[in-house]
Structure 1
Amino acid sequence: MKKLLLLTLILISSYTVSAQQNKQKQLLRHVVMFGWKPGTDAAAIDKVVTAFGDLEHKIKLIKAYEWGINNSPENLNNGLTHCFTLTFKSEADRDAYLIHPDHKAFVAVLSPAPDKVTVVDYWTNN
C-alpha cells in the first residue's frame, strides 16, 4: 500500500513539473493585420510599418517582432495585406504593452490610414 501511495505521489509530482515546464515554454503571440483603402499612399503605409517596428526597441516587454506582406495565392485575406506579430512572455506583459505610452503614440499614427484591422492573441502550443 505504501509503495502504491509513493508511486502515485511520484506520478503526480512528475506531471505537475512537466505541466509547469510546458507553460514556461509557451509564448503569447499578438498578431495584428491591416488592410488599406484603395489608393492609400505608400508613404503612409511605410510610416505605419516603421512606427510598428520601432516599438520593439521602445517597449522591452516585447520579446520578438516580425512582419510581412500577404502573398497567399488563396485570396482569403479579406483585404488584409500587412501582418505584424509580437511575442510576449505573459498576458500581464501584453496588457502592459497595450497601455504603454509608446503603444498609444503608435496607435495615434494609424489614424486614419488602415481600412481594416484584425487582432488575434494566442498561446503557442509546443
Structure 2
Amino acid sequence: MKTKNKTLGYLIPVFILGLFMLIIYGAYTPHQQAEMQRIVCVKFKADTPAAEIEKHMKEFANLRRQIPAIVGYTGGKVLDEENSAQDFDVVHYLTFRNEAGIETYDKHPKHKEFIENNSPYWDKVLELNSDIEK
C-alpha cells in the first residue's frame, strides 16, 4: 500500500506539470519570419521646436505597441553634423511579416492620428518598402 501511495505521490506532480506544459504549448504561436520593411525618412520644417521633434520620435516608437502588424521598430536622428543642409532629419525602420501588415499599418487609426498630430511640422517625407533578403 505504501508503494502505491508513493508512486501516486510522484505521478500527481508529473501529471500537473504535463498539463501545464500542454496549456503553455497551446498558447504558443511559432514566430513567423518577417518579410517586409518600411523605411520612413522625415525632414522637419526649419522652425520646428526640438520638443516637437522629440514628441514625434516617442509617438512613432509607440506605434509599435499600438499596431500589432508592426513586428519590429528602430529609429533615430540622422548623424550628419557636417552637412547642415541634409535631406532628412530622422529615419524610422518598421518591420512587418508581409505586405498585408503594411496595409494594416497604413489604414490603422493610430497611424492616421500620428500623421494628423505631427505632419504640420514636416517639410518632406520619404517612405520606401522593401523585402527582407533571407
TM-score band by shorter chain is 0.7 to 0.9
Partner of 2:43: 35
Matched, 1:109 2:109: no
Is the radius of gyration larger for structure 1 or structure 2? 2
Detail structure 1 runs of 4+ shifted over 3 Å in the superposition.
72-75
8 A Cα contact 1:29 1:85, kept in partner: yes
- What is the RMSD of the two structures over their aligned residues, measured on CA atoms? 2.0
8 A Cα contact 2:71 2:96, kept in partner: yes
Q: Percentage identity across aligned positions?
A: 31
Query: Cα–Cα, structure 1 residues 42 and 122, in superposed 2: closer, same or farther, change >3 Å?
Result: same
Instruction: Measure, in 1, the Cα distance between the counterparts of 2:107 and 2:81.
Output: 36
Count of equivalent residues: 102
3-state SS of paired residue (2:87): coil
Specify the code of the residue in structure 2 equivalent to 1:48.
H
Q: Mind listing any 5+ residue stretches in structure 2 that lack a counterpart?
A: 1-31
Deviation at 1:108, TM superposition (A): 0.8
TM-score normalised by L of structure 2: 0.69
Specify the code of the residue in structure 2 equivalent to 1:70.
V
Matched, 1:82 2:90: yes
8 A Cα contact 2:37 2:130, kept in partner: yes
Q: Mind listing any 5+ residue stretches in structure 1 that lack a counterpart?
A: 1-23
Structure of greater relative contact order (alpha carbons < 8 Å, 6+ residues apart) = 1
